[in-house]
């Protein structure tokens, strides 16, 4: 029973990893930019949820009304800037890391480096859970999983079925030729940056629901989220979701049967093994890139 609970809880937590990773993966796949500032946007999204819910006594989920538009604008602005700088894939790593450091500095100036957590009276979700038989699921993980599934499904449909989505996949494969057929890559990249920023707001909100915040948290997301991006296949939204769930399950099970401390060790060993077998990512089938 313990193991089943660990698997299911892990899968649900994997939803948060997928939510964090999808935007990073799509921007990487379509625009060839590794945007580390994405972690900064998630962080700001989380703090916005914390701040708005705390000061206005708003339901934390409703804070999305503020944080989603704000992060849309921030994400679009960052992409606009990257476009002006004509970043290469490698340079983007350096520039966006710089940007992340700035964001972390600014957040710790505003919200201090101490842990901040929504109090129980504004955040009813933290302690809620749903019981199915003897299995128990925290509501926060259900929210994470549900939002991740929605985002991934939406992104998948947009990429496959719409002119804008086809144009993004075309940009990923041959920008100049896509341009010759009328695809304005500047406009699309700003739009994509905005949408991805909005997903960062969702991820931040979900994180703030069940965790205390400190600016340094952004660095803790790196390992797991990159693992999910690489395993899922760069630019592959459905793959990213599957990888998020897999990574969640793996860490959950290892933590339950072994100990939480060994989880990262087992996780990354498994990832390296997986990449030896399938360097293009476990779930890559030919997506955006």
Partner 1 sequence: MSEPLLQVRDLDVRYGDAQALWDVAIEVHEGETVCVVGPNGAGKSTLVNAIAGIHPAHRGRIGVGGADITRLRGHRICEHGVAVVPEGRRIFPKMTVLDNLVLGAYRKSARRQHRATLADVYEIFPRLSERAGQLAGSLSGGEQQMVAIGRALMAQPRLLLLDEPSLGLAPVRVDEVYDAIERINERGVSVVVVEQDVQRALAVAGRAYLLGEGRVVLSGPAATLRDSEEVRRSVLGL
Interface positions with partner 1 (CB under 8 A): 163, 166-167, 169-170, 173-174, 176-185, 286-289
Q: Supply the minimum distance, in Å, between the C-beta of residue 234 and partner 1.
A: 12
Q: Supply the minimum distance, in Å, between the C-beta of residue 188 and partner 1.
A: 10
Sign of CA dihedral 224, 280, 79, 147: negative
Within its chain, how far is the Cα of 85 from the centroid?
Answer: 24
Task: Give 139-205 as a 3 state SS string.
Answer: HHHHHHHHHHHHHHHHHHHHHHHCHHHHHHHHHHHCHHHHHHCCCCHHHHHHHHHHHHHHHHHHHHH
Residue with tokens 């089938």: 285
DSSP code of residue 33 = -
Q: Supply the minimum distance, in Å, between the C-beta of residue 171 and partner 1.
A: 10
* Composition of the chain by helix, strand, coil, percent to 5: 80, 5, 20
Residue 178 or 238 with smaller CB distance to partner 1: 178
Residue 40 or 165 with smaller CB distance to partner 1: 165
Residue 44 or 288 with smaller CB distance to partner 1: 288
Q: Supply the minimum distance, in Å, between the C-beta of residue 162 and partner 1.
A: 10
Q: Supply the minimum distance, in Å, between the C-beta of residue 159 and partner 1.
A: 10
**DSSP-derived 3-state class of residue 267:** helix
Residue 182 or 279 with smaller CB distance to partner 1: 182
Residue 187 or 265 with smaller CB distance to partner 1: 187
């Amino acid at each position: 029973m313990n193991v089943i609970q660990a698997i299911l809880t892990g899968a649900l937590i994997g939803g948060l990893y997928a939510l964090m990773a999808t935007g990073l993966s799509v921007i990487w796949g379509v625009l060839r930019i590794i945007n580390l500032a994405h972690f900064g946007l998630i962080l700001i999204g989380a703090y916005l949820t914390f701040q708005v819910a705390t000061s206005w006594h708003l339901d934390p989920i409703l804070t999305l009304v503020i944080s989603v538009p704000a992060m849309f604008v921030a994400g679009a602005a960052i992409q606009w800037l990257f476009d002006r700088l004509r970043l290469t894939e490698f340079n983007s790593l350096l520039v966006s890391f710089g940007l992340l450091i700035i964001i972390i500095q600014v957040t710790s100036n505003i919200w201090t480096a101490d842990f901040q957590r929504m109090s129980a009276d504004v955040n009813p979700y933290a302690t809620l859970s749903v019981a199915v038989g003897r299995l128990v699921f925290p509501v926060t993980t259900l929210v994470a999983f549900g939002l991740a599934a929605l985002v991934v499904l939406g992104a998948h449909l947009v990429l496959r079925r719409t002119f804008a989505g086809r144009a993004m996949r075309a940009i990923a494969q041959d920008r100049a030729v896509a341009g010759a057929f009328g695809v304005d890559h500047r406009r699309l990249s700003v739009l994509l940056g905005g949408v991805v920023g909005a997903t960062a707001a969702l991820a931040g909100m979900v994180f703030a629901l069940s965790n205390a915040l400190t600016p340094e948290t952004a660095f803790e997301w790196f390992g797991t989220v990159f693992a999910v991006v690489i395993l899922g296949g760069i630019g592959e939204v459905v793959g990213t979701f599957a990888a998020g769930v897999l990574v969640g399950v793996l860490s959950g099970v290892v933590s339950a049967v072994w100990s939480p401390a060994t989880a990262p060790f087992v996780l990354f060993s498994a990832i390296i093994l997986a990449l030896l077998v399938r360097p293009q990512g476990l779930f890559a089938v030919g997506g955006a890139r």
